[in-house]
Amino acid sequence: MQTLKNTVWWITGASSGIGKSMCLYLLKQGAKVVLSSRNEESLMQVVKEANVDTNQYLILPLDLENLSSPSELVNSVVQKFGKIDYLINNGGISQRSVASETDLAVDRKIMETNYFGTVILTKAVLPIMIVQQQGHIAAVSSVVGKFGFPLRSAYSASKHALHGFFESLRAENTKNNIKVSLIIPGRINTMVSNNALVGNGNAYGLLDEGQAKSMSPEVAAPIIIHALLKGKKEILVGGKELLMVHIRRWLPRLFYYLSTKVSAK
Ligand SMILES: NC(=O)c1ccc[n+]([C@@H]2O[C@H](COP(=O)([O-])OP(=O)(O)OC[C@H]3O[C@@H](n4cnc5c(N)ncnc54)[C@H](OP(=O)(O)O)[C@@H]3O)[C@@H](O)[C@H]2O)c1
């Protein structure tokens, strides 16, 4: 197994769910980790749980929806660790509302957070990786980054946009020895549905039935990290719901039918 010791990982959405589990796994393996999200207190809880020395982590709070001066953030990472090996754009918010009842402000908020926030941070880190002539950037998409699905119009659009951006970025930067991966979870048992927005911008506040029965983030995190270490370009992670990706590709008519029947909660 490739050693993680002394590799530097910057993970957004590190306070909860998939991001938190990735941070805990990496810290346990001796990696250096930059933890980012809005909630500084929750980030501090994560490093407390990891029980590691302060020279192994950096807490950098940020709001992906309003990312004003990312270069200052990048400078503080480089100052502390001297390099950035991995940027994992994981932070994001989901949606539980039909398009016809979703305020445009909610569409914009989801796009700002999931797409533009990710792009802004990536563009701030990219020059460092180009100078290093090495690095690996990943974005956490979703199966609904591969197809549209009920109650997810803005969310699905924001994840589709990530595919376009990051596939282009990969093609442009292979010559700079920079790898790009899209992580495509099915359902992972996190707070994602609780934190999802409804049409008026309020939090949905419920754990979906499908979510409750799904893979735990503690199981998902090492699967994702080891797939990244292998340099996989697309990383599907989850349970039987991943089948929909293959059905959409190979049996589109069956997919169109199922997408009106399968529970979106
Ligand atoms: N769980 C699933 O079934 C599933 C499926 C497909 C894709 N995903 C994707 O996986 C990623 C992680 O989600 P999760 O399942 O772990 O859900 P989660 O438990 O709700 O975690 C979401 C993370 O994103 C952060 N975040 C939200 N808005 C932010 C903002 N404006 N600025 C900075 N950070 C922000 C949250 O931290 P703060 O609140 O502290 O800011 C939190 O750490 C998301 O991109 C999600 O779309 C999840």
Q: What is the mean pLDDT of residues 79-99?
A: 98
> Ligand 1 center to residue 191 CA distance, Å?
8
| Fold adopted by 8-261 | Rossmann fold (3.40.50)
Q: What is the 3-state secondary structure (H, E, C) of the chain?
A: CCCCCCCEEEEECCCCHHHHHHHHHHHHCCCEEEEECCCHHHHHHHHHHHCCCHHHEEECCCCHHHCCCHHHHHHHHHHHHCCCCEEEECCCCCECCCHHHCCHHHHHHHHHHHHHHHHHHHHHHHHHHHHHCCEEEEEECCHHHCCCCCCCHHHHHHHHHHHHHHHHHHHHHHHHCEEEEEEEECCECCCHHHHCECCCCCECCCCCHHHHCCECHHHHHHHHHHHHHCCCCEEEECCHHHHHHHHHHHCHHHHHHHHHHCCCC
Tens of pLDDT, residues 168-198: 999 999 999 999 999 999 999 999 999 999 9
pLDDT at 1 over 70: no
Query: Mean of the pLDDT values across residues 72-76?
Result: 97
Look at ligand 1, atom 26, and give the residue with the nearest C-alpha: 91
Span 126-185, pLDDT tens digits: 999 999 999 999 999 999 999 999 999 999 999 999 999 999 999 999 999 999 999 999
Q: Is the predicted pLDDT of residue 10 greater than 80, yes or no?
A: yes
Q: How far is the CA of 91 from the centre of ligand 1 (A)?
A: 4
**Interval 11-15 mean pLDDT:** 98
- Closest-CA residue, ligand 1 atom 45, reads 92
Q: Which residue has the higher pLDDT, 232 or 3?
A: 232
The full set of domain ranges for the chain reads 8-261
In this predicted structure, the answer to whether residue 118 has a pLDDT above a threshold of 80 is yes
- pTM, to two decimals: 0.97
The pLDDT > 70 percentage for the chain reads 99
